[in-house]
Amino acid sequence: LCAAVPLKDMKLLDVKLGQLPTWLAMRDYTPGGILGAIRRGYDRYYNKYINVRKGGLGGISMVLAGYVVISYIWSYSHL
């Protein structure tokens, strides 16, 4: 049998729709908590797409595509 994971420690994809407001209320919205979440996201991305044995162009092309989309949005903000 699997032990139940507390709602605070669940990942977003594991949270049911009815539990979403409670889960969001338990998040850490202090500057340190936000920076920690950004850091964890960057570390996951880096370890999944950049820091691999047989690397490809996948990770770097996603960063480049993101940059292109953001620069397009900044250039055409009147749309």
Q: How far is CA 53 from CA 29, 40, 49, 50, in A?
A: 36, 21, 10, 9
Domain residue ranges of the chain, discontinuous segments joined by +: 28-78
Query: Quick one: pLDDT at residue 3?
Result: 62
pLDDT in the model for residue 79:
63
pLDDT of residue 2: 55
pLDDT digits (tens, 9 = 90+) for 41-59: 899 888 888 787 776 787 7
* DSSP states along 14-78: GS-GGGHHHHHHTS--SHHHHHHHHHHHHHHHIIIIIS-SS--SHHHHHHHHHHHHHHHHHHTTT
Task: List per-residue pLDDT tens for the chain, 79 residues long.
Answer: 456 778 888 888 888 899 899 988 988 899 999 999 899 989 988 888 878 777 678 778 888 999 999 999 888 877 6
